[in-house]
Structure 1
Amino acid sequence: MVLLTTRVAIGFAAALFTPFACAQDVITSDTHFYGQSPPVYPSPNATGLGNWADAYSKAKTFVSQLSLEEKVNLTAGGPETNGCSGSIPAIPRLNFPGMCLSDAGNGLRSTDFVSSWPSGMSVGASWNIDLAKSRAVGMASEFRVKGVNVALGPVVGPLGRIAVGGRNWEGFSNDPYLCGSLAAETVTGIQSTGVITSTKHFIANEQETNRNPSGNVSAVSSNIDDKTMHELCLWPFQDAVHAGSGNIMCSYNRINNSYGCDNSKTLNGLLKTELGFQGFVVSDWGAQHAGVASAQAGLDMAMPGPGSFWGSNLTMAVNNGSVPESRIDDMATRIIATWYQFGQDKTFTSPGIGVPKNLAQPHDTVVGTNSSYKKTLFDGAVEGHVLVKNQNGALPLKSPKLISLFGYSAKAPDNFDVNNGGWNNGGSSLGPQDTVTANRTTTHSQIASNGTLISGGGSGANQPAYISSPFEALSQRAYDDGSALLWDFHSSAPNVDPTSDACVVVGNAWATEGADRPGLRDDFTDGLVLGVAARCAKTVVVLHNAGVRLVDRFVDHPNVSALIFAHTPGQDAGRALVALLYGDANPSGKMPYSVPRNETDYGGLQNATLPEGVYEYYPQSEFGEGVYIDYRGFDKRNVTPRYEFGFGLSYTTFTFGNVAAVLAGGGCGKAPYMYPTEEVVPGGRADLWNVVATVTAEVTNAGDVAGAEVAQLYVGVPGGPVRQLRGFEKVFLQPGEKREVSFGLTRRDLSTWDVVAQEWLLQRGTYRVYVGASSRDLPLTTSLKI
């Protein structure tokens, strides 16, 4: 049996300023990780770190009263008695009602009387932590009313490494700092209601292609070095654990050739030891691939059921000595402690009461929607739109008399299939979206042609209480204004009334769980835009995009006056768009990813990895680019994107000034808390969260319209990327108003992961500091010297 990985004996004071030992950008021979996942045993018992002590005290008392069979029953899903994605059976004699786990991180699906919330990518585009938290609270209130103990989200993996990734829309951003910050607010918000978050998918789960074994082909292996793991993939999970996430879901893929739910290095070593995770680990549905091995590797709960691995076989494994009963005790204790931690033993709704097994059959009505969160739903939809082109002030529209509306994503969806879980809810297949017209020259899964795209597909899809389409919202506006509206949703070359004040073309980019996208643009939509622009002097393009969408085929056309990335805005899609088009709301969204000019700009990170050569049956995805994805990669390779990370336009203008950066404690040697400690809290070493420097700047609304700007802080850490996001603040300003923004930089923010010391270490040297409106619009610069 291999002991837990230990730190190399190295003087902390000396090591603190030791630059990363290898000058290479990527460590392909990293003995701690790359290519073969090292064993880390035994699985550590949780001890009740931080504010978990009381929950653990209660849980240990509870578990001590259970038989072995009862403890084992807690570790896997039971019989399906409701519509929950997974259920843990009750233990009536101890007043444990069981647990309901349900999809997903963007709203409760497969039931009625719930909302379609703006999806993760729209939250990322808002760059608004307050809105993210409000959304989380509102969304979780629906889960709670419906009796869902565990909401299967938020998503922080995939992180968007692969541009065509089918699930990128479920997560917040391609940047680990932005993703982690919004994930932490989401975890805090959801769990404030007593609902447990299942932060997923742990870890390095960056493609849908070959995510599961099929026939003789195993799941893809994400081969990643230790430095990249910590500075990129693990970062947002660390934020979620620090925020108190009660559950982590392990992923389908292999990590360094060991399955995610059987991987002792990632589960025992990284999650439960290094991050001090106190909750329980649940498998993604069907992601368990071993019995004894997964138990010893740190898996605590298998879903959707015990299958052939656990259940009576796990009991047998304990009885024959293959698995120590202490491991079963820790599994059960972690699960019950999490139940206690969020007060679910007190006033929580009966598990699954509002999630009927079959919506098409008579069932009790349990209303989850709450009018208190109407504004949050609407604001989230609005702020998830990003205006990236506005030629000659084309927007907002100024008292138009005639609007012409085109495009398949402008109309309400064609159907709502209650037997299939509702609109846009096709599980791991294309489902109801697989209806693209046969006479189109695009691949069938490029677009969702049957109506407004409010979310992507699969388990992350959410359920609308209603859908406000652009057509419906524009129709209402025409009624209110006494103006006119013409429309054509289906023609590839529609007729255009030359007296139109503006022509709005609404398309989309479809993505779903279970399949990576076949491309980043489609001929039909590009041709539609160009056809309308050829006949209309003011053409406004709106894309409901569940992922990156390339636009270079049409964006430079002189009549394409405006372009909006609408993302996946949820049920208020149309209402939000019209508010922005007419200036009732001022655009404030920013790109949570970069949009390049061509596919080749990704430098190998466009498409998913496929089996090939000697790896015909064991596909290997080499994370050889290290931390250089998205804007970090574009900066490194000196590639100019079409729209950079953090970019977004407004109807007003903002200026920045008076930047200052101050090191806490006066600098090196005067702030002892800047040095590593041994204390571990949920999320890692306690000192990592200490603020060691502060940057301030001023933002002024220099225009004549009230609006919001996202002040962004980037830092060049010695030895790392030229700049990395390390702070942001969204400020709402009246015309002429000035406000100071302040960014606290933690020890982790300014450190790099040292693979030899196995520590986050500050670096001796000069840290360049940048403040501005995007990753490439940074008018303010200063520095910190350590």
Structure 2
Amino acid sequence: MQLKHAAYWLPVLAARAAPADDPQHHQITKRDLAYSPPHYPSPWMNPEADGWEEAYAKARAFVSQMTLLEKVNLTTGVGWAAEQCVGQVGAIPRLGLRSLCMHDSPLGIRGTDFNSAFPSGQTTAATFDRGLIYRRGYAIGKEAKGKGVDVILGPVAGPLGRAPAAGRNWEGFSPDPVLTGVGMSESIKGIQDAGTIACAKHFIGNEQEHFRQAGEARGYKFNITESSSSNIDDRTMHELYLWPFADAVRAGVGSVMCSYQQINNSYGCQNSEALNGLLKNELGFQGFIMSDWQAQHTGAASAVAGLDMSMPGDTEFNTGLSYWGANLTLAVLNGTVPAYRIDDMAMRIMAAFFKVKKTIDLEPINFSFWTLDTYGPIHWAAKKGYRQINYHVDVREDHGSLIREIGAKATVLLKNSGSLPLNKPKFLVVVGEDAGPNLNGPNSCNDRGCDNGTLAMGWGSGTSNYPYLVTPDAALQAQALKDGSRYESILTNYATSQTKALVSQANVTAVVFVNADSGEGYINVDGNLGDRKNLTLWKGGDNLIKNVSSWCPNTIVVIHSVGPVLITDWYKNPNITAILWAGLPGQESGNSITDVLYGKVNPSGRSPFTWGATREGYGADVLYTSNNGNGAPQQDFTEGVFIDYRYFDKANTPVIYPFGHGLSYTTFKYSNLVVQKQNAGPYQPTTGSTTPAPTFGNYSTNLTEYLFPSNQFPYIYQYIYPYLNVSDPKKASADPRYGQTAEQFLPPHAVDNASQPLLRSSGGNSPGGNKGLYDVLYTVTADITNTGKIVGDEVVQVYVSLGGPDDPKVVLRDFGKLRIEPGQTTQFKGKLTRRDLSYWDVGVQDWVVNGYEKTVFVGKSSRDLELSAKLQ
């Protein structure tokens, strides 16, 4: 079981490199990669980690005062619907710490009122604007803090976006790891600067909804016994899926959520290679790892594999049973879970807390996720503790203006033959259900689990309630009335005769609104089990566009969608004079698109994904049917690092609109590319060892001291406590294996507490990996001239060809957004780090700059690269 990286991966790579007709090629297949080697012991915190020193010292002072029961209480959730938030751990009242609140979501606070509904992560990424991404994160963090939320469950880098039909891609940023890494970093900085702990999720390889949870899949009549396995090779893991999480760790993220599915046939929340090896050891993550809700499958095994917090605490919702709680108390007392591990769990939670919060004096939790009623039971599942639970605190401030700005600046102008911007059109006609309201109200479908009216967010736990939703119909009508234009709208996709009669009239400018939705797997919308069934527009959107454009020679199409849709059949139609992708823009949807259509905002959004001509052109897709009998479905990532534009380039496939594409109402000229080598020193692999594992406090082994204190407070039904019910350990555990030693059922070295050698790729004291990776090797400058007549923002993109036979044709490595006046020339400044020019060497187990010739490109998209230069 103690396979080392090089010993395992080198023969695999040799087999993969062999010609297809060589017998060696068939000796080790991709399925043989579906094994996750053990990595133990779980790394403990580094008191000298950059940016964590003060937090560590405060956490040590706090944790040193805690009893074992208090540490278990801090690490174990109290159960589903046991308190006000979607997840909470036990309080430490003796030390003045209330229960910590963990709560969704990536685009706003889920299930509350008087909060904002922000644009999705994917939509925000389309701005290619670091400042806007930060401001959105700060606003979300501030609203969360105002509600009493301590950990906001976002941002999202998993799914990255491997399969374009995957249901939750819109919660994240982009299938490009660099753009997603920037989205993660800036969001985390904003959220935590506002006083709320960010939680980077879902770690890792969580790339589809089908089969992510065996129980959920069985509810859809799939006959499987285990959740699916994402089978990812080492190089792909590092260069693609781990990349944005490294940026998250480098940004100081306080928590990381492990995922539902398996990684190389080991569950994400007990995968020691992922949690101990990649995250805590290689990346030097100093915060805490929490489980996704019901993603924990073991007790002691998940503890030694690196899990620090169990969410929501019960084994299954509302069972009252827990892998941790009393069982974790027993496991520490009998030595199955080493004392240092429970101390490290508590340290990591409190260090993240003090890094962001500074003090234990917290705002009260002033809402209940379970109801919007003002009064109700504080313990929702048990229906106990009736009191005021919702205070309806308005935390929105002026965030509506920010949401409107992001929505407009994220809108991607895909095509424009001159019909935009609008200027007091004589007769404006708006067509399509997507322009109008949900007739039952914008929040009428639970967690937005429907597609009625205009689409401004997907569905699932990554949603929030709208405080209002400005529809495109309402905003465009208001503008038309202001201009004196004639205005009519038909807010259905199926009134064919009425639509024809209207748009066939003279002087019509027709704007057609269409959409495509998706979300989380626990909600089924029209047979879409989270993941989309296809990449076509919903509710006959394609036919609506074809019909209107056949009747009206000036048809403008606006797409609200969760990702790419197939537009092959109609995008070239000359009667379609403009196409815009508006993503999922949140509560100011109508105002944002109106600002762009009328030129109040010059469009500067860039597509965060590729628009392919066919579904097959993307190379990777959702696994919709089980392929492993009734066992764990096997999702083999055979495409490696080649997803989205990387795959299109490898296959040399034409695309309709490339990654990074977006037009403006002005024009820009690129010139004078200069690439200058910097004086970075040589790369120094990390050496040395950690200190031995520290422990804080001694524990009594008298089990009577751990019994439930019924004389102090009443027992709450289904609530998860750290206390034992009886003093007999075997009866208390209800585990027939009780009494076995750790060595009998845990992997070798799982409970070691001696000093450990540092990985050469680790950062030592620098979270995010070896600090030499972030040395700037080259600076890149270019002159950008606005050759048009109006001011505009240009997104300048830097790509690199790494030159190797197994490398993508080009990869995005940097970008910047410049605001340039007409006739003005502004210099773009970018940089290339050592990581940007490296590949992951599976034999060396480190990042290496190979000897192949490398080229830097500067341009407007992945396939519009105007300037290039060879690197020295």
When the two structures are superposed, what TM-score results if normalisation uses the length of structure 2? 0.82
How far has the Cα of 1:615 moved from its partner?
4.3
2:795 maps to 1:710: yes
Q: Partners in 2 of 1:766 and 1:710 — Cα distance?
A: 27
Deviation at 1:321, TM superposition (A): 2.5
- Opposite residue 71 of structure 2, the aligned amino acid is K
| Unaligned ranges ≥5, structure 2 | 8-12, 219-223, 316-321, 376-389, 522-529, 688-762
Out of 483, 489, 494, which is 1:487 matched to? Answer: 489
Does 2:456 align with 1:451?
no
User: In 1, Cα distance between the equivalents of 2:444 and 2:800?
Assistant: 43
Structure 1 residue 483: Cα displacement: 1.5
Deviation readout 1:709-748 (Å, 9 max, x if unpaired):
1000000113211110001001111111111111111111
Residue in structure 1 matched with residue 681 of structure 2 by the alignment: 672
Amino acid at match of 2:453: G
Q: Secondary structure at the match of 2:102?
A: strand
Report which of the two structures shows the higher radius of gyration computed on alpha carbons: 2
Q: In the superposition, relative to structure 1, how do residues 768 and 615 fare at CA in structure 2: closer, same or farther (>3 Å)? A: farther
2:796 is paired with a residue of what secondary structure?
strand
What is the SS of the residue equivalent to 1:771? strand
Instruction: Give the aligned partner of residue 591 of structure 1.
Output: 607
2:177 alignment partner in structure 1 = 176
Shift of 1:609: 5.0
Partner SS state of residue 43, structure 1: coil
Deviations for 1:676-735, whole angstroms, at most 9, x for unmatched residues? 444521111111111111111111111111111100000011321111000100111111
Q: CA RMSD in A?
A: 2.3
Q: Check whether the contact 1:381–1:569 (CA below 8 A) recurs between aligned residues.
A: yes
Q: Counterpart in 2 of 1:608?
A: 623
Structure 1 counterpart of 2:337, from 323, 327, 331: 323
Inter-partner Cα distance in structure 1 for 2:14 and 2:865: 27
Instruction: Specify the alignment match of 1:121 in structure 2.
Output: 122
| Residues 1:285 and 2:288 aligned together | no
| 1:414 corresponds to 2:416 | no
Report the counterpart of residue 35 of structure 2 in structure 1. Answer: 36
Deviations 1:29-63 (A, max 9, x none): 59999210001111111123112122112212222
Q: Distance in 1 between matches of 2:202 and 2:629?
A: 24
Give the secondary structure class of the aligned counterpart of 1:588. coil
One-letter amino acid of the structure 2 residue matched with residue 387 of structure 1: L
* Counterpart AA for 1:167: R
More displaced 10-residue stretch of structure 1: 725-734 or 338-347: 338-347
- Larger deviation: 63-72 or 656-665? 63-72
Secondary structure of the corresponding residue to residue 238 of structure 2: helix
**1:212-271, Cα deviation, whole Å (9 max, x unpaired):** 113543111011100000000000000000000000000011000000001000000000
**Which of 725, 728, 731 is the aligned partner of 2:818?**
731
Amino acid at match of 1:476: A
Q: Residues 237, 609 of structure 1: CA spacing in aligned structure 2 closer, same or farther, 3 A cutoff?
A: farther
The 1:231/1:21 distance shift into structure 2, 3 A limit, reads farther
Would you say 1:765 and 2:857 are equivalent positions?
A: no
2:247 pairs with 1:239: yes
Q: Which amino acid aligns with 2:394?
A: V
Q: Is 1:311 matched up with 2:311?
A: no
Question: 3-state DSSP class of the match of 1:766?
Answer: coil
The answer on whether the counterparts of 1:73 and 1:88 sit within 8 Å (CA) in structure 2 is yes
Question: Is 2:431 the partner of 1:367?
Answer: no
Match of 1:551 among 567, 577, 595: 567
Q: After superposition, give the CA deviation of every residue in 1:448-492 in whole Å (9 maximum; x if it has no partner).
A: 2x2111110101112222111101101111221122211111242
The secondary structure found in structure 2 opposite 1:727 is strand
1:222 aligns with 2:249: no
Does the 8 Å CA contact 2:493/2:540 hold for their aligned counterparts? no
How many residues align? The count is 741
Q: CA deviation at 1:647?
A: 0.4
The sequence identity of aligned pairs, in percent, is 43
Q: Hey, what's the Cα distance between the residues in 2 that align with 1:700 and 1:517?
A: 41
- Determine the C-alpha separation between the residues in 1 that align with 2:18 and 2:460: 39
Q: Secondary structure at the match of 1:728?
A: strand
C-alpha spacing 1:524/1:609, structure 2 compared with 1 (3 Å): closer
Choose the corresponding residue for 1:541, options 537, 557, 574.
557
| SS class of match (1:657) | strand
- Whether the 8 Å contact between 2:181 and 2:245 is mirrored in structure 1 is yes
CA contact 1:543–1:566 (8 Å) conserved in 2: yes
CA–CA distance in 1 between the matches of 2:32 and 2:128?
33
- Counterpart-to-counterpart distance in 2, 1:424 and 1:410: 18
TM-score using structure 1 length: 0.91
- Matches of 1:123 and 1:54, distance apart in 2: 33
Conserved in 1, the CA contact under 8 Å of 2:801 and 2:810? Answer: yes
After superposition, where does 1:632-781 map in structure 2 within 5 Å?
Answer: 632-665=646-679, 671-678=680-687, 679-680=763-764, 681-719=766-804, 720-781=807-868
2:587 corresponds to which of 564, 571, 574: 571
2 CA distance for matches of 1:25 and 1:92? 65
Task: Find 2:280's aligned residue among 272, 283, 294.
Answer: 272
- Structure 1: how far apart are the matches of 2:51 and 2:362? 20
1:322-341 Cα distance to aligned partner (Å, 9 max, x none):
21122111111111111111
Q: How does 1:459-498 map to 2 (within 5 A)?
A: 459-492=461-494, 493=496, 494-495=499-500, 496-497=502-503, 498=505
CA distance in 2, matches of 1:424, 1:276: 42
Q: Which amino acid aligns with 2:783?
A: E
Q: CA deviation at 1:414?
A: 1.9
- When residues 68 and 204 of structure 1 are mapped into structure 2, their CA distance, relative to the original with a 3 A threshold, is same
Q: 1:472 to 1:20 in 2, by over 3 A?
A: farther
Q: Quick one: distance in 2 between partners of 1:360 and 1:193?
A: 28
CA separation in 1, counterparts of 2:515 and 2:446? 17
Matches within 5 A, 1:419-434: 422-423=443-444, 425-426=446-447, 431=449, 433=450
Contact map agreement 1:191 1:197 (CA 8 A) in 2:
yes
Aligned to 1:83: 84
**Cα displacement string for residues 120-154 of structure 1 (whole angstroms, at most 9, x for unaligned residues):** 11111111111100111112110011111001000
Structure 1 position 355, deviation (Å): 4.2
2-structure distance, mates of 1:753, 1:213: 33
Q: Which amino acid aligns with 1:518?
A: K
Cross-structure match for 1:519 = 534
Q: CA deviation at 1:290?
A: 1.1
Contact kept in structure 2, 1:691 and 1:746, CA below 8 Å: yes
**Distance of aligned partners of 1:24 and 1:204 in 2 relative to their CA distance in 1, 3 Å threshold:** farther
Match in the other structure for 1:506: 513
